Amino acid sequence: MIYVGIDDTDILGSPGTNKLARHLIERLRPDYANLVAIRHQLLFDPRVPYTSKNSSASLLFDVEDANGVLDLARRIRSLMLEWYVAGSDPGLCVTDCVPQSVSDFGRRCQKEVVSQQDARQLAAESGIHLEGLGGTEDGVIGALAAVGLAAAGDDGRVVSIRHWPDDLSGPQDAGFLHHRGVAEIRCVETGRMITCGTVDVGKHLRPNFRCGKVVLFVAASHAAGPSEVAWTAVRFT
């Protein structure tokens, strides 16, 4: 497994980190098999510069090649530089080994202001590839945080699953959602696992990453109508 963290620190009018994540996955296929891409919410604070929402993204790749980290870092660097918009401060993190200290760092970034120096020092101590790709290079903070949070396996909203396109919206059969990569559909009120019925996923399918799995949380639907929607997706960060 190779963990990639990106933080585009985009500017107003630019596509944003989530779109960059999906762009990278598409350009790297079929050489690198992506398992999942996850959006991670970081700290909202006036001391932290961000455009609309302070988030970063992680991408998990199924790679066993010993040279995979260096090659993947090289290729993603090139793609991110092509994507670069003046005024942004992107960062990139790539590693196949994530110590607990880096996951702890990710949690810190959700609760307190941390410095670029903190991120760089921790990455160096952990032997993790971390680099800035423009501007102030403050994106290294979010990139390292994304890798730590993804490795912990219990944070974030999934924005891409394997090779499937991001094309699901509205009512969907639970069995089909499982087919498309949702490991569990879980009722938020009872914890019950949902294996059948129709789920309204909303504008886009956006499950969560919990216990190292793609989990869609739902609530019982009280809407009446011919569609017989039994469940409605519930979104968490």
Which domains, and CATH codes, for the chain?
2-157 (3.30.70.2200), 168-233 (no CATH)
What pLDDT does residue 174 have? 97
By CB atoms closer than 10 A (0-12, 13-18, 19+), residue 94 is buried
Tokens of 59: 């991408």
Helices (H), ranges, the chain: 17-28, 68-83, 100-109, 116-126, 139-152, 174-179
Tokens of 158: 């999934």
Query: pLDDT tens for residues 139-176?
Result: 999 999 999 999 999 999 999 999 898 999 999 999 99
Q: Which residue has the higher pLDDT, 11 or 181?
A: 181
d(CA 57, CA 106): 12
What pLDDT does residue 4 have? 98
Tokens of 5: 């963290």
Contact 160, 37 (CB under 8 A): yes
d(CA 131, CA 123): 10
Query: pLDDT tens for residues 74-87?
Result: 999 999 999 988 88
